[in-house]
Amino acid sequence: MINLGRGWPDPSLLPSLQSLLNLSQSEVQHQQEQALQYGVDPGNLDMLQAVIQLRQQCASTEISADCEEGGPDTQGQETANTSTPKITTENIIITNGSSQGLDMVCLRFSRPGDIILVEPLSYCYIAATLEQHGLIPLKVPSTSEQCRTSCLEESRGNLMDLDALEDALETRRQVNGLMPKLLYLCPICHNPTATTMEEEEAKRLIAIARKYKFKLISDEVYMFLAFNCEAVPKSLVDYEMELVEAETPIDEGDDASSFVVLALNSFSKILGPGMRLGWIESCSNNIKVLQESGAIVSGGGLNPLGCSLVGAYLRSGQQETLIETLNTSYRTRCKVMMDALELDLGALPVTVEEIFQPIVQHPCYVRVTGGFFLWLRFPNHWNLDTEKLLSVCLEKQNTKEENEDDESVSFFAGHQFSLGIPLVGDKSNGEEAATTELFVPEVANHSIRICFAYLPEEDITKGISYLAKTAYDMVYSSK
């Protein structure tokens, strides 16, 4: 089976274990005491400094001279990171990766029964964490189909309609409705849509969060893999620092001096998920709140041994070539996948423009900026239920004849990225808590997420061909 669903890095592109072991011999050995002892609360200081250096180095590095390749349209992108991040060691705490960082933020900044806003399409594996913290996920209004042709060209972002969000929040405030405590988003090389939020949109969202006093959990795990951008996109923390520096009026309130943004980052996508290491960036007040998490109070900073190793790796400077290689490979694989889609779907009685409908119609709104995934939306008139398409694609493994190739393929059906029920303005306290029904818009049911990062090029091409053939058979054999 060709697995286009698995959103993992290709292990052959990650650093060799031997190079890490060599570093541990030469660099980490002398840290015997520190590496095997309970760590200081925010994490090993060398590691915090290495993270800052990584962020600063990457901010000043051009990613790609030929960023026109690999996306259906790369115009209108203005993600160049022109200023150096101003974070210090007080703005960082080490985590066991972005997923654990999310858990920590929910633990320290919410209570069961609180509302967390999520994007219209959201990284699916946050659902368990939200549920376990007793949070109620409500979907930020999305830009509607009708609105697309009129106003979206200026409105760039991850399908969140910020005008509608602000209207809904204002109405809720006026009717004393339950207000959100958190909003989770993936603003850089979004999973699943591959889009990156533009500066104006990001700053507007930060201003809304400040006004209505909720935290933004900004999952930035693909920050260093924005292979179709000119530079590494800025963190929402960088934007909030700029806003604070420019003395944007901040609403009065007991946490007015604290940032709304808590940015999750991770080594999973660059050094490998086996590291289980990442970090959170925010203002020093928020970092102190995170340091009071039970696990840190009891056990100190997370994973000191891993920090020593990663710190040594970053100090060695090898990450520069590594990140460049990853971006080159993922850009090529993304292009291979898009070419295969064009070839295989182009041969069907549907144009590739229809498949990439949102991308082609709104090049500056939805574009592939980087990350691991493509989000495909099949034409409405196909009326294709992608969960059924997935079962048929998987079933091929069992129904093939002995001398036939295995043409089974897997992917993620779109509905999995639809979390929560829609946020509406006029709900009274707690009404949503009683609603268990999830809202899956039609567009998600007709869509799929496919990953280009994990598989070699020949498997990507084969996988797309099997997928296109099965989709075609399903749609046209039933007519």
Ligand X SMILES: Cc1ncc(COP(=O)(O)O)c(C=O)c1O
| Binding footprint of ligand X on the chain (CB under 6 A) | 7, 97-99, 123, 186, 191, 219, 221, 266, 268, 273, 278
Q: What are phi and psi of 421, to 5 degrees?
A: -105, 160
For residue 312, give every residue at least 6 positions away whose Cβ sits within 8 Å of its Cβ, in sequence order, or none. Answer: 23, 24, 27, 28
The answer to whether the CB of 159 falls within 8 A of the CB of 190 is: no
**Min CB(236)–ligand X separation in Å:** 14
Is the CB of 123 or the CB of 214 nearer to ligand X?
123
Residue number with the smallest Cβ distance to ligand X = 97
Distance CA 192, CA 185 (A): 11
The answer to whether the CB of 355 falls within 8 A of the CB of 366 is: no
For residue 294, give every residue at least 6 positions away whose Cβ sits within 8 Å of its Cβ, in sequence order, or none. Answer: 107
Is the CB of 412 or the CB of 466 nearer to ligand X?
412
Pairing verdict, β 261-266 and 447-451: unpaired
Is the CB of 64 or the CB of 98 nearer to ligand X?
98
Tokens for 285?
């007040």
**Min CB(155)–ligand X separation in Å:** 22
**Min CB(266)–ligand X separation in Å:** 3
**Min CB(282)–ligand X separation in Å:** 17
Is the CB of 447 or the CB of 461 nearer to ligand X?
447
**Min CB(140)–ligand X separation in Å:** 16
Is the CB of 302 or the CB of 468 nearer to ligand X?
302
Pairing verdict, β 180-185 and 115-118: parallel
**Min CB(220)–ligand X separation in Å:** 9
- Cα angle at 253 between 250 and 257, to 5 degrees? 60
**Min CB(11)–ligand X separation in Å:** 14
Is the CB of 178 or the CB of 453 nearer to ligand X?
453
Distance CA 82, CA 232 (A): 10
Is the CB of 91 or the CB of 98 nearer to ligand X?
98
Exposed/middle/buried for residue 126 (C-beta within 10 Å: 0-12, 13-18, 19+): buried
Is the CB of 193 or the CB of 266 nearer to ligand X?
266
Distance CA 385, CA 450 (A): 16
The answer to whether the CB of 50 falls within 8 A of the CB of 353 is: no
CB atoms within 10 A of CB 454: 19
Classified as helix, coil or strand, 374 is strand
